[in-house]
């Protein structure tokens, strides 16, 4: 039982603004911040935290996704194709969550955070090099991609030119996307990082188009798990309200300034924050499973 | 299509703000939350008409979750209007998965009561 006071709601709201802001800035849903925050700092049971986070991820996606659609960066056909994989995965993930014990969820979440932390310390391979070599246009489409006509084009403002691309690796991309879906339903996150990686690294989609398309998909992917949890009656609307409001506000701000700042320092500090959360989730899992108490550092 | 997302976002935001305000008007003291869930739609509508905070917050949540789902349903019609059979099928599968999640959630709800 959580005691809902004005202070409790205010803290939740402020943390959610930060999570939404970082989410908009780094192209993630913000769930990877919401769940550790609610469980470790606000003592919300992890199953409840996952359900709350998943619904708030929809709010982030609504806020961020619409601006990419407006700028015509989103590849709608590609999104529809991959959504089959992500929603199927999300269905499996959310059912499994209801069946798993808390400490197992803490451990799996810790693993996810570790990966996110590692990837934020590593710099991304440059898209510009691939554009100069015309890799995006010259790629040979695979069978599925050709059958569905998966090609795309968007106007890149920072480079001041039209970027065309042809999708390949459609089956590999779908496989990785289904894994992103499982993660979403299982842990209450959007899974955007995995989707962006699948499109950019394996399907020949330029990074900006991948981020826009991923944002668009996150809403539907999260809706599968959110719908299941909501109908199952495990969503606590009192805690959800400030979180959803905060992430919406934060995500709107984050998306607005995303194109204006390129701060290396910000990315590194984000990496440290996620590393810290990974540690606390493992610590919590160990306490629940074996009664081992690691120092919580905070 | 992005209008659907914006309308959904704005209306759920307004509902959440109203719900929270009502919560503190109706319960000035700190309260223990029990996850409020309505076992049927009629109960929710009755509570909504009585302007209960929990009902307003629940309705806000429904609007929020419905937003991306409306977007999917709309695109089924758009693809159908363009006679794009392949994508009507693909989007139809997504709709089917959404339906399955409602059914599974419903049975889970029954099993814990």
Distance from the Cα of residue B62 to its chain's centroid: 2
What is the nearest CA distance from A254 to chain B, expressed in angstroms?
Answer: 16
Q: Determine, for residues B60 and A91 on separate chains, whether the beta-carbon distance falls below 8 Å.
A: no
How high is the pLDDT of residue B43?
A: 74
Phi/psi for A3 (5° steps) reads -85, 120
Helix/strand/coil for B36: coil
Spatial contact of A262 and A28, defined as CB atoms under 8 Å apart: no
DSSP character at residue A152: E
How high is the pLDDT of residue B97?
A: 95
What is the nearest CA distance from A46 to chain B, expressed in angstroms?
Answer: 14
How high is the pLDDT of residue B75?
A: 87
Q: Determine, for residues B60 and A222 on separate chains, whether the beta-carbon distance falls below 8 Å.
A: no
DSSP character at residue A3: E
| Rounded Cα gap, residues A202 and B105, in angstroms | 34
What is the nearest CA distance from A122 to chain B, expressed in angstroms?
Answer: 33
| Rounded Cα gap, residues A10 and A246, in angstroms | 10
Per-residue pLDDT of chain B (113 residues; tens, 9 = 90+): 667 778 888 888 898 888 888 887 776 665 655 556 666 677 777 777 777 788 888 889 999 999 989 989 998 988 899 888 889 999 999 999 999 999 998 888 787 65
Beta-carbon-side half-sphere exposure of residue A111 (alpha carbons within 13 Å): 8
Structure confidence by residue, pLDDT tens digits, A279-290: 888 888 888 888
What is the nearest CA distance from B73 to chain A, expressed in angstroms?
Answer: 11
Spatial contact of A209 and A79, defined as CB atoms under 8 Å apart: no
Q: Look at strands A3-4 and B31-32 and give their pairing.
A: antiparallel
Give the residue from B28, B94, B111 with the most A CB atoms within 10 Å of its CB, the best one to mutate: B94
Q: Is the pTM of the predicted complex or chain greater than 0.95?
A: no
Cβ atoms within 10 Å, residue B52: 18
User: Residue for token digits 């710099």?
Assistant: A123
Q: Determine, for residues A232 and B91 on separate chains, whether the beta-carbon distance falls below 8 Å.
A: no
Q: Determine, for residues B1 and A242 on separate chains, whether the beta-carbon distance falls below 8 Å.
A: no
A84–chain B Cβ distance below 8 A for any pair: yes
Give the residue from A230, A239, A249 with the most B CB atoms within 10 Å of its CB, the best one to mutate: A230
Q: Determine, for residues B102 and A70 on separate chains, whether the beta-carbon distance falls below 8 Å.
A: no
Exposed/middle/buried for residue A292 (C-beta within 10 Å: 0-12, 13-18, 19+): exposed
Q: A232 contacts in B (CB within 8 Å)?
A: 104-106, 108-109, 112
The domain limits of chain B are: 2-112
Exposed/middle/buried for residue A20 (C-beta within 10 Å: 0-12, 13-18, 19+): buried
| Rounded Cα gap, residues A29 and A118, in angstroms | 18
The domain limits of chain A are: 6-290
Under-70 pLDDT residues of chain A: 1-2, 27-29, 64-67, 122-128, 132, 158, 258-266, 295-298
Q: B104 contacts in A (CB within 8 Å)?
A: 91, 95, 228, 232
How high is the pLDDT of residue A151?
A: 83
List helix spans (H) across chain A. 6-26, 31-36, 46-70, 76-99, 102-121, 127-132, 135-138, 143-148, 170-187, 192-197, 207-232, 237-258, 264-290
What is the nearest CA distance from B81 to chain A, expressed in angstroms?
Answer: 15
């Amino acid at each position: 039982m959580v005691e809902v006071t004005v202070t409790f709601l205010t803290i939740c709201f402020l943390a959610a603004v930060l999570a939404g802001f970082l989410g908009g800035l780094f192209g993630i849903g913000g769930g990877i911040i919401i769940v550790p925050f609610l469980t470790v700092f606000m003592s919300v049971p992890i199953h409840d935290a996952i359900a709350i986070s998943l619904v708030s991820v929809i709010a982030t996606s609504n806020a961020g996704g619409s601006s990419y659609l407006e700028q015509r960066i989103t590849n709608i056909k590609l999104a529809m194709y991959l959504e089959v994989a992500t929603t199927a995965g999300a269905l499996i993930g959310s059912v499994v969550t209801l069946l798993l014990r808390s400490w197992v969820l803490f451990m799996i979440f810790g693993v996810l955070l570790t990966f996110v932390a590692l990837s934020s310390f590593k710099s991304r391979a440059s898209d510009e090099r691939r554009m100069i070599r015309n890799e995006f246009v010259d790629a040979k489409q695979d069978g599925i991609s050709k059958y569905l006509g998966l090609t795309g084009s968007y106007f890149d403002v920072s480079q001041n030119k039209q970027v065309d691309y042809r999708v390949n690796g459609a089956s590999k991309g779908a496989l990785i996307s289904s894994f992103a879906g499982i993660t979403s339903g299982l842990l209450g996150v959007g899974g955007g990082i995995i989707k962006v990686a699948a499109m950019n690294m394996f399907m020949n989609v330029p990074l900006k188009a991948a981020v826009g398309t991923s944002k668009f998909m996150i809403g539907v992917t999260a809706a599968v798990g959110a719908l299941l949890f909501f109908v199952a009656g495990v969503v606590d609307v009192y805690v959800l309200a400030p979180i959803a409001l905060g992430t919406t506000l934060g995500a709107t701000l984050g998306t607005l300034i995303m194109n204006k700042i390129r701060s290396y320092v910000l990315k590194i500090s984000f990496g440290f924050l996620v590393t810290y959360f990974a540690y606390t989730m493992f610590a919590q899992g160990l306490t629940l499973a074996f009664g081992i108490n690691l120092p919580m550092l905070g | 299509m992005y209008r659907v997302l914006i309308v959904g976002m704005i209306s759920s935001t307004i509902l959440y703000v109203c719900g929270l305000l009502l919560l503190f008007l109706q319960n000035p003291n700190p309260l223990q939350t029990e996850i409020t869930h309505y076992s049927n739609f009629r109960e929710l509508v009755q509570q909504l008409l009585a302007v209960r905070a929990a009902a307003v917050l629940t309705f806000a949540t429904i609007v929020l979750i419905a937003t991306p789902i409306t977007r999917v349903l709309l695109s089924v019609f758009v693809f159908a209007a363009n006679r794009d059979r392949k994508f009507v099928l693909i989007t139809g599968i997504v709709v089917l998965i959404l339906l399955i999640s409602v059914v599974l959630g419903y049975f889970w709800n029954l099993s814990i009561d």
